[in-house]
Structure 1
Amino acid sequence: MPIPALEAELGWLGLRLCGGLYPDSDDTHAAGAGTLLLVGNAGDGMWAAFNRDCQPATRVGIADPLDGWIRRTVGAIARSAEARAIFPADGPPFAPFQRWAMRAEPVYPSPLGVLIHPTFGLWHAYRAALAFPDVLTLPPLPPIPHPCTSCQEKPCLAACPVVALSPDGYDVPHCAAHVRAAAGRPCRAFGCAARRACPVGKSYRYPPDQAAFHMQGFLARLPVTDGTK
């Protein structure tokens, strides 16, 4: 399948082609692949397509309906393109999607721990990788600087209501305990306050229903604690 046709198929799903890379010879997750092309989302395009294809009433009782939808749709595209689909949830061991992403497009680690994109900010994610046996021609990575370097105020670090972000890292149990509590309703309804404070890519910010959906998924993957150490 030609790259433009692949981009069109992904675009119908609200997904984007996020660049590619040539995997290292010792990368067992990409064994047999000459090229990896990453698939992801930015903004609300994927959310609109997911709601179009999977009405809320059809998701009742399904543990992770978005993951299932991604596997079905991207898996079908991979087969048509004669590629092997690799998903972030495959594992353990899990594929190094963040490391792959930093070789495929100009994204960088942010203070929040997730990768920041110079256009989409923190409002993007990687959903799959397509492993092709052949070595495809890839464009060079554009020399775009790290967006956080020129951000003097770094509002993300001060926005968390319980200071779960610090120079020591991200206190996940403390964050989750707050979000589950009554005081965490704004984070449950609109998404992470620190993420929303980032000035990069504001026009791609997830709408409230999408942000709430992802936050529910985040909480579902974590044990319930009181957030104390």
Structure 2
Amino acid sequence: MSKINKVCTVLILVLTFIFFTSNLTFAQSKIVKKTIKKVIQPEIAPIEPPETSSEEGILPELSAPPEPPTEEYKVKAETTKGLLGLGLNAAYGGSYLFNLKGQQGLLGALSARGDFIFADPWLIGSKIGLAEDAVEYKIGVGYLMGNGTDDQPINAIPLYADAVIYLKEGSFSGMDPFIGFGLNYNLAGRDGKSGNLGGQVYGGILADFGFGGKTELSIGYQSIRIGDGTPSANGIIFSATHPFVL
């Protein structure tokens, strides 16, 4: 019986060991499976929505609208009516003439002048390499008084006709130069004498003094003849002329 008891005891121990071992193995396999699942089956990250393109990419590029016909949008130039509402271009000025013969001191001949200004209908300026409006014509009258040749007293009402050529802006040491020439005819002078024909040639620059236009400052030569030429005045003339609108 003792042997049987020993055998039974050994069998019980073996079965207990096998049972315990199997349970331990089964538990470890569960742990391994869980670990494998955690390793093999990672968490699925949330899918980010696709990046939306900017408005510039979504909207098609639009080309600029075509320019409207110029006939439908003509801009009317504003015309200045002027002092008397006539819209005529004019100029006024004064001058001093230093006689080259017989003048005593500085007292020569003083004059005032008023002109109408006319544009060049032939556009001569564009034909000589200048602006289309580079040439202007002046017709006017004036009054001259003082001392003439040989210091003789003189007074006259001359009729003037000039042509003025405005050269390229800034072409004379940064200033705007011009040249002019013309004829004069005495309408009435000392002792009621009329005639004779004289002339003038000059050059100068345009200066802006803030008077609503550019003033012409010039120096040149002028000859005034009354009647048969005695008395007369001829010499160097200094002039200032300013434009305005009538």
Q: Give me the TM-score of the superposition, normalised by structure 2.
A: 0.21
* Higher normalized strand content (fraction of residues): 2
Structure-1-length-normalised TM-score: 0.22
Structure label with greater radius of gyration: 2
More helix by share: 1
